[in-house]
Chains A and B, each alone.
Chain A
Amino acid sequence: DAKTTQPTSMDCAEGRAANLPCNHSTISGNEYVYWYRQIHSQGPQYIIHGLKNNETNEMASLIITEDRKSSTLILPHATLRDTAVYYCIVLGVGGSNYKLTFGKGTLLTVNP
């Protein structure tokens, strides 16, 4: 699976959009971009994933560049409860081994 690079930490004001970047320059054509977040002492929470097209769900939007070498997770109106570590993960399709490789992620702190 391709490696990802994320900033160590970011701050965001409550009510504003939080834009979390992720670089995955070695991504292959059949690899998905996944985003998870983890709030202290809880299991990782699935947020969103995509292959080529931009995706949106009730939690967030995922913007993938045309060359697929980077992506941005957008939380449109951040709240204090969105403070968490956010993980960007690249995952291949098919095969017999389906595992998520977590890096260090980005600590997003939403400030009042």
Chain B
Amino acid sequence: ETGVTQTPRHLVMGMTNKKSLKCEQHLGHNAMYWYKQSAKKPLELMFVYSLEERVENNSVPSRFSPECPNSSHLFLHLHTLQPEDSALYLCASSQTPGAEQFFGPGTRLTVL
């Protein structure tokens, strides 16, 4: 238990669906992150929020839309995804940028 929770743990969706991934951190951290993890590839940073402001968008397609309503919650809204978007989506948080990151268990996403 790292203090970072993610729901759902598994998600199967069609290409025309709209769904959202949720992340919550109970550590009082100020920075939150979304990563994509595909088999045999490095973790890819998608988005970074610091003090609820987006500070990094790593050239992510617009079909992924992040939202950070407060410092404890982070969402990733998904729409019109492609099969190649199937992956493990990990959320992480850190006290400050540059500090150790604590990861959630991830959401295993399958796009049909």
Chains A and B bind each other: no
